[in-house]
Amino acid sequence: MKKLFTKIVSVALIASMMGALASCATKKSLTVNKGKLVMATNAYFPPYEYYEGTKIVGIDAEIAEAVAKKLGLELEIQDVEFDSIIAGVQSNKYDIGMAGMTVTEERKQAVNFSSTYATGIQAIIVAEDSPITDIDTMIGGDYKVGVQTGTTGDIYITDEVGDERVVRFSKGNDAVLALSTGKVDAVVIDNEPAKSFVAANEGLKILETPYAVEDYAMCINKNNTELLNEINKALAELTEDGTIAAIIEKYIPSNG
């Protein structure tokens, strides 16, 4: 009887251990690569993301770093074309997309969005002697408008004037270069990068009237609600303790 009882206990113990091992084996990591938070961005969008030497820095990079730290993960940033970010997040190539990305109804069909961490303004850049003086002039005339492919500037202005008047570029600075060389008549882009581009290129200005105001957030795979919840929790804590405000102030001084 004692031998039988020992056998039963042993079998039960082995079964318990096997179950625990199976549980460990099937437990999914929150992220694509265990221990890392892989962020896709397009690093030509200062001050949100840009290169400083070989390193990608900026508002998005620092906020992502702070979030990764809260989650106990190492941040890895991959620089890709803007219009490939959402597809990469959908296919689990990246954990998050963060590139001054605006929350839109169309994008919400493809990915989830985190809580908003910043507000952006779409601006219009023109030549200093341009006949374009406001939004209505730009839309109503037969002007070519440069945009970065896949951005909300691209989406909004295409809806307004149609495909035939929109010239798309893979990077925002390429659109601005085209404006400087007379290949387009205006560029629609986020206001903060617009300031940087105008400062670096003589003969350009930003129209006083903003084109659109929008919210920025991280995009996350629709099936990864656990990561979404953890990121939102981290963002709430970083907002509460003033970290996010300090990062934004560092790059966009309120008295600037």
Report the alpha-carbon distance of residue 44 to residue 256 in Å, rounded: 21
Residues in Cβ contact with 120 at an 8 Å cutoff, skipping those fewer than 6 apart: 100, 102, 190, 191, 192, 213, 214, 215, 216
Domain topology for 120-213: D-Maltodextrin-Binding Protein; domain 2 (3.40.190)
Q: What six digits make up the tokens of 33?
A: 């690569």
Alpha carbon 197 to its chain centroid, in Å, reads 19
Report the alpha-carbon distance of residue 146 to residue 144 in Å, rounded: 7
Write down the pTM of the prediction: 0.74
* Two domains, one topology: 36-117+217-251 and 120-213: yes
pLDDT for position 253: 86
CATH class of 36-117+217-251: alpha beta
Angle between helices 59-70 and 225-240 (to 10 degrees): 110
Q: Where are the domains of the chain?
A: 36-117+217-251, 120-213
Mean pLDDT by 10 residues, the chain (256 residues): 46 46 50 96 94 97 98 98 97 97 94 95 95 94 95 92 96 95 96 92 93 93 98 98 96 76
Report the alpha-carbon distance of residue 101 to residue 59 in Å, rounded: 12
Quote helix, strand, coil % in the chain, to nearest 5: 45, 25, 35
Give residue-wise pLDDT tens across range 219-236: 999 999 999 999 999 999
| Cβ-contact 175, 184 below 8 angstroms | yes
